[in-house]
Chain A
Amino acid sequence: DAGVTQSPTHLIKTRGQQVTLRCSPKSGHDTVSWYQQALGQGPQFIFQYYEEEERQRGNFPDRFSGHQFPNYSSELNVNALLLGDSALYLCASSLWANNNEQFFGPGTRLTVL
Chain B
Amino acid sequence: DQQVKQNSPSLSVQEGRISILNCDYTNSMFDYFLWYKKYPAEGPTFLISISSIKDKNEDGRFTVFLNKSAKHLSLHIVPSQPGDSAVYFCAASEGTSYDKVIFGPGTSLSVIP
B103 lies within 8 A of A44 (CB): yes
Chain A: CB-nearest residue to B41: A106
Chain A interface residue count: which class?
Answer: 20 to 34
Give the chain B neighbours of A43 by CB distance below 8 A.
44, 89, 103
Compute how far the CA of A94 lies from the CA of B21 in the bound complex, rounded to whole angstroms.
26
Give the chain A neighbours of B44 by CB distance below 8 A.
43, 90, 104
Give the chain A neighbours of B99 by CB distance below 8 A.
56, 99-100
Q: Which residues of B contact A (CB under 8 A)?
A: 4, 6, 9, 32, 34, 36, 41-46, 49, 89, 91, 93, 97-106
Compute how far the CA of A56 lies from the CA of B102 in the bound complex, rounded to whole angstroms.
12
Chain A: CB-nearest residue to B96: A99
B43 lies within 8 A of A4 (CB): yes
Majority secondary structure, A binding face: strand
One digit per residue, 1 when the CB lies within 8 angstroms of any chain B CB and 0 when it does not, for chain A 97-110 equals: 11111111111000
Compute how far the CA of A31 lies from the CA of B107 in the bound complex, rounded to whole angstroms.
28
Compute how far the CA of A4 lies from the CA of B32 in the bound complex, rounded to whole angstroms.
23
Of B4, B42, B43, B101, most A-chain CB atoms within 10 Å: B43
Q: A42 at interface (Cβ–Cβ under 8 A)? A: yes
Q: A63 at interface (Cβ–Cβ under 8 A)? A: no
Q: List 15 A-B contacts (CB under 8 A).
A: A41-B106, A42-B89, A42-B104, A42-B105, A43-B103, A45-B100, A48-B100, A92-B43, A97-B98, A99-B101, A100-B49, A100-B99, A103-B46, A104-B43, A107-B43
